[in-house]
Structure 1
């Protein structure tokens, strides 16, 4: 540079002094944070990238502050280094590259402007060189986009072949145009034989009607979750509201026909209370005047079982006491909110069978997780399965009660009338995260699926999906029943999805695995009493998992998988991950923090999976959401102001154990960055189709876009495929479609069963955290798809009280 040019540059720098000072100051602050955090990460045995980059930014900021062109060149070199490092860590994936590259590349744009060049007073500045460097980076980024598009999404599996041939024709017990059970049949297949809606015409779906329950905004207490899946019998829809009112609607118009006010007592009931559906039966014996010949059974959050006339909504007077059975009978003292029923009962062989939700926060006060059956006509007690007394099936004697604190069954249950069996998924004995006090029977029946004789309540078989569960891995999904052709033989099977992401396929007659299950070594350590851990855990090695874990690479999760919206919160997540203990899935919690993955929200939760039983295809939507878990003592709980479920000091989410010498509380929380982003790279949820003939994945797609997600409560409004967590389930149809919402995206989606492509979206007025259903209206002959849009506080989706029906437009006369 000549003296004249330097003078001109200094004059230019004087006129642009403020930008020249603000920009390097920002670089200095960013570099300081990266250097300090990067040093901490490197000290924990993590990546050195952040420390090296932080030092480079500090040096670059000083040079830019002084007007030395070397500052810009050092920054460009750092960008190139960042690009190479990012590709080496995660390859070509938009969402994982975004936090690594976006901030630094956006800041680097300033170096390409004339304003920056006017602040340079010394050093090797060259307009041509700068253009060449910028061009090289632009070409590199464009090449990344092109190669990435050509390579495809590494987290998705595209369908590589045609769907399997039809193996068998399935004929249901109910009319094809109706939906008689929560899962459309007793076995919970969530399959409809309807073919009116197809991949060719589903784009024409539009809102036909909307019904509001009136339960939002709530007039008292926290929002109740609207997760119901309606039934369709005749020309009416039946469902329950979050306050357990039972409602009948006109199936064509959505107009209310009648509403039974359950008059529930909500004292002590938390925001987790829900009503997922009702049950229906038509009694075989004629009833006087035809009253209550067809009945709707509904559960309540204040522990009652209701029966009303399907035609009128009036209570069935001959059922229990004026149409209701008190489920608190035989339970002993119940603290308000510690016991209620959130899932629909199951009607099998003239009996109404049900479990119940039991609070899992404290070691004292929890009622029993007993399973009970009542006569479908009279409501009289039929039998009980008390896991503390598995061979006694009667009611407790006067002054006694069912065994307290046993494993409970709060999810949907299934039945097989022909075999005379009912299938019960179970959770834990309380509390969730500490098992030191559990009995031998508690450990035997927790985390299991039970095959019980529907006539007398006797246990036929028990298959345990998790031994000594201290992770809240309740079996929440409804067991699904279907007949598979295996090596030329038709086998009645039960498919049991789990929160662990393991999918077990059992012979439902015996409970024996149909596809391979192996006991594999499980992580140990971290607890004072190793006797409360199992050295092995069952793994369904014969089936694909819904967990996003790869046993070949430390179960597929490591520091490089940590995420954030920017490189700063990603660095924070990486530090926290390195501080936590992670030895693979089912790392047990102790007084040190453990990385908990998959967390208690996924893989499969209560939404379960759906099937095409004719082609033997399973479709499941599942979550991959990380958490942090730590057991703490009473002193720390009190210091942090954590409260027990009954309001006394002591616990956050579950696990309070008020005894000396043992952990007092379980501190469980989502693993989120300071900006509120999950600390693991997307996708956070996927939809997967599995061919049960070959036990291979047909296709796997991200579940939902980022349109309704965001940071700090601010939505992005960007419909970019991300895979957003949610709760709820899918349904499949013979028309070749999969309908699913169950995502942070506020939409009901229709997917092509062949490919997993999203063919249509219906925007919802609130979060669709429920399972849809479908039917044909006898008035118009149109096929409807209906879903509850009530939102979910854990999913941070918009709350509401909507039931929305979609259909093709009516044909013009």
Structure 2
């Protein structure tokens, strides 16, 4: 017996390993018994018992402890493949830690055998080396991007035709069609790798990192040689398009107790009838809505309020609304400029109480600020002019996100939300149920309803339509509208009639158990186009960084009521998948008309909900995305939170966010890739500082260009990325100073002819790092 092999230190390490394995086995066994009683997998009980026995034998320095563990490891590998298939991240969750214990067990095996007068070290070390190679291979593979759907072909890139290049970025979605497509190709797939920072500007408004306080979510406008930025606190900054130098700034002094953000501005220019008109004061106007419910018009050249608009440049949007408590009515979406009208909706605080402010949509004259029409859901016809003695109907479905406009058809398209509160609908009126979670087309001149298409009936999930509709023309010339939803659906409608172009089916809807509630018998789903991240969850879909949090997620899953999509809330704990954040959210889509690809980014976060009887619920809570919500005035309050493991990781398997390309000529996914890494986030919020592309929740808009590129920054790591829009391959990325929720946009300077890609960076969602950056990228200047 060698001195090394019988070393007390090595034997002590073997005993420590035995204790660790035994304790781990005990935890798995106890948790496994709980899972088994809920009807779950028996694996965790069996593995826990095996590990407990193996650990005890190791503590007693018996080589049989290693043998027993290796047999259990082999059984685990077989079970893992049977349970998860040959998929990398699910296998990592099931095998990484057991393989680590196995490697350590093999390393101590020679010592245990030597202590009993035996040999066999070479075979054990060879086995340990093999497991180490598996670990190294797995670690290297973790940094590779694995497409969820790989491309089978790539469309050709069409050059921009002469005279067809984009001149300005005048609306939040580039145009009022909201396609976020730029007919520009100076920056292309061949040279995108040469992009570098051209300039960096600061707005002077750093959004705080208080969970639901201020967040930068802006997409800049570009008119000629000037960029226009709005900040979370409703400041407007005009920047030189080539240098980023500040030309003017305006501070609205807007205040709100929560939810401070400005996603974009509106722009209007008088008809060009000569230099006198073009140079007149406020001939070009920047329009902004504020978080304290004002509509402001500014001169685009000077930043001064337009004195002919409203009251010295401001219209009070609380007029006609009745009582508006602070924070109960805010405007965060860019105003829609439709001809000579400015159309605005408004965000109503969620879930605090009934009888909250109205969800009315209003149109104002762009020159005078006078009300032209109001779409009030209780009125058969628009109430014009508003009787000063009559307030708008309270607590109607609202339009908190961006709208779209088709000038040729003369229609405005509204994506509606819900009558608050979200998780209870027992008191909703027939009008509420008719208009919630629907696309509504209105006549631009009168506000008269032309058609309606509802995406969720009697919505109890906060599945309100979060995104601007994208107005697109199909290859056969059909005028279409693409609407994405929080429920992971993509509806393609004829925007002239509202009729579905691709197949929509009614499916039987799960029924709930809350006393006094009513439930829709069926719900519409879009089966003619891909559904993004809506696969029905099973116990095998549960995931974790370790078997322990995977086990905890399995127990949670089996404890909850889950009947698939549209599982309604009740007094028990119910699982909602996708959660109320989506699916898809306010970033909407981008659309490339040259290859008819629709680009969709999503987040995959489930949540659990529970209705709390009124006697057990305090009033006044709510208005945020998660936690307790009082729902005062109803029989129930509510409680909801994200479906996470004890380490704060989503309980279902990755990816947690993807970018998808939908080919509208075939109705199929052209490709789908995970987006975002854990470099700037991780378990318990600890940054992992590793660019592992697991695919993280996304939040923000994308940008498609005619050169075959797709830009996106709304990830939890701090990067602006460019993808090959034909294949989904990442072809370039640049590190941002902080994360971004802003929308990338692009333009060619009329002075220098350089194409720029610009994005704001104020901080990623859930990140404490904040800034006030505007960053422009361009190709190197010619020598």
TM-score normalized by the length of structure 1: 0.91
Matched, 1:74 2:65: no
Matched, 1:156 2:133: no
Measure, in 1, the Cα distance between the counterparts of 2:73 and 2:540.
19
Which residue of structure 2 aligns with residue 565 of structure 1? 545
> Aligned to 1:12, what secondary structure does the other structure show?
coil
Cα deviation digits, residues 87-118 of structure 1 (max 9, x gap): 11112333222221122222222223358615
> Aligned to 1:485, what secondary structure does the other structure show?
coil
Matched, 1:607 2:601: no
Which residue of structure 2 aligns with residue 525 of structure 1? 512
Map 1:774-785; keep pairs closer than 5 Å.
774-785=746-757
Cα deviation digits, residues 530-551 of structure 1 (max 9, x gap): 5x211111111111112242xx
Cα gap change, 1:198/1:646 in structure 2, threshold over 3 Å: closer, same or farther? closer
Map 1:211-230; keep pairs closer than 5 Å.
211-216=201-206, 218=208, 223-230=213-220
Measure, in 1, the Cα distance between the counterparts of 2:339 and 2:45.
68
Measure, in 2, the Cα distance between the counterparts of 1:330 and 1:244.
23
Which residue of structure 2 aligns with residue 596 of structure 1? 576
Tell me if structure 2 keeps the 8 A contact 1:374–1:383: yes
Measure, in 2, the Cα distance between the counterparts of 1:566 and 1:66.
27
The match for 1:192 among 174, 177, 182 is 182
Matched, 1:38 2:32: yes
The match for 2:285 among 287, 295, 310 is 295
Cα deviation digits, residues 216-272 of structure 1 (max 9, x gap): 264999641111101110100012111111111000111110011112133xx31x3
Measure, in 2, the Cα distance between the counterparts of 1:208 and 1:140.
44
Measure, in 2, the Cα distance between the counterparts of 1:454 and 1:156.
42
Which residue of structure 2 aligns with residue 18 of structure 1? 12
Matched, 1:745 2:745: no
Cα gap change, 1:143/1:748 in structure 2, threshold over 3 Å: closer, same or farther? closer
Which residue of structure 1 aligns with residue 420 of structure 2? 430
Measure, in 2, the Cα distance between the counterparts of 1:129 and 1:295.
79
> Aligned to 1:407, what secondary structure does the other structure show?
coil
Tell me if structure 2 keeps the 8 A contact 1:110–1:116: no
Q: How many Å apart are 1:137 and its aligned residue?
A: 5.2
Cα gap change, 1:596/1:799 in structure 2, threshold over 3 Å: closer, same or farther? farther
Q: How many Å apart are 1:799 and its aligned residue?
A: 2.6
Cα deviation digits, residues 539-585 of structure 1 (max 9, x gap): 11111112242xxxxx2x11111111111111101100110111111
> Aligned to 2:671, what secondary structure does the other structure show?
strand
Deviating more after overlay: 253-262 vs 17-26: 17-26
Matched, 1:668 2:668: no
Q: How many Å apart are 1:361 and its aligned residue?
A: 2.0
Measure, in 1, the Cα distance between the counterparts of 2:355 and 2:423.
17
Matched, 1:418 2:408: yes
Which residue of structure 2 aligns with residue 97 of structure 1? 91
Which residue of structure 1 aligns with residue 529 of structure 2? 543
Cα gap change, 1:219/1:191 in structure 2, threshold over 3 Å: closer, same or farther? closer
Q: How many Å apart are 1:178 and its aligned residue?
A: 1.8
Cα deviation digits, residues 678-720 of structure 1 (max 9, x gap): 1111100111111111111111111122222211222111112
> Aligned to 1:768, what secondary structure does the other structure show?
coil
TM-score normalized by the length of structure 2: 0.94
Which residue of structure 2 aligns with residue 358 of structure 1? 348
> Aligned to 1:374, what secondary structure does the other structure show?
strand
Which residue of structure 1 aligns with residue 621 of structure 2? 644
Q: How many Å apart are 1:166 and its aligned residue?
A: 6.8
Which residue of structure 1 aligns with residue 630 of structure 2? 656
> Aligned to 2:474, what secondary structure does the other structure show?
strand
Measure, in 1, the Cα distance between the counterparts of 2:106 and 2:376.
73
Tell me if structure 1 keeps the 8 A contact 2:356–2:420: yes
Cα gap change, 1:371/1:43 in structure 2, threshold over 3 Å: closer, same or farther? same
Measure, in 1, the Cα distance between the counterparts of 2:692 and 2:579.
25
Which residue of structure 2 aligns with residue 259 of structure 1? 249
Tell me if structure 1 keeps the 8 A contact 2:103–2:132: no
Q: How many Å apart are 1:323 and its aligned residue?
A: 0.6
Tell me if structure 2 keeps the 8 A contact 1:292–1:310: yes
Deviating more after overlay: 618-627 vs 185-194: 618-627
The match for 2:82 among 69, 88, 110 is 88
Map 1:460-471; keep pairs closer than 5 Å.
460-471=450-461
Cα gap change, 1:624/1:458 in structure 2, threshold over 3 Å: closer, same or farther? same
Matched, 1:773 2:750: no
Measure, in 2, the Cα distance between the counterparts of 1:415 and 1:602.
25
Which residue of structure 2 aligns with residue 807 of structure 1? 778
Cα deviation digits, residues 490-517 of structure 1 (max 9, x gap): 1111111111111111111111111111
Tell me if structure 2 keeps the 8 A contact 1:426–1:449: yes
> Aligned to 1:721, what secondary structure does the other structure show?
coil
Cα gap change, 1:646/1:761 in structure 2, threshold over 3 Å: closer, same or farther? closer
Q: How many Å apart are 1:123 and its aligned residue?
A: 9.5
Measure, in 2, the Cα distance between the counterparts of 1:311 and 1:153.
46
Which residue of structure 1 aligns with residue 700 of structure 2? 728
Tell me if structure 2 keeps the 8 A contact 1:431–1:654: no
The match for 1:402 among 386, 392, 395 is 392
Map 1:30-179; keep pairs closer than 5 Å.
30-113=24-107, 117-118=111-112, 121-122=115-116, 126-131=120-125, 133-134=127-128, 156-163=148-155, 176-179=166-169
Measure, in 1, the Cα distance between the counterparts of 2:38 and 2:109.
41
Measure, in 2, the Cα distance between the counterparts of 1:364 and 1:591.
20
Cα gap change, 1:122/1:635 in structure 2, threshold over 3 Å: closer, same or farther? farther
**Runs of at least 5 residues in structure 1 that lack an aligned partner in the other structure:** 550-554
> Aligned to 1:750, what secondary structure does the other structure show?
strand
Measure, in 2, the Cα distance between the counterparts of 1:238 and 1:170.
28
Tell me if structure 2 keeps the 8 A contact 1:620–1:729: no
Measure, in 2, the Cα distance between the counterparts of 1:811 and 1:170.
23
Q: How many Å apart are 1:404 and its aligned residue?
A: 0.5
Measure, in 2, the Cα distance between the counterparts of 1:139 and 1:256.
56
The match for 2:23 among 7, 26, 29 is 29
Which residue of structure 2 aligns with residue 442 of structure 1? 432
Matched, 1:714 2:686: yes
Measure, in 1, the Cα distance between the counterparts of 2:622 and 2:558.
32
Measure, in 2, the Cα distance between the counterparts of 1:786 and 1:64.
60
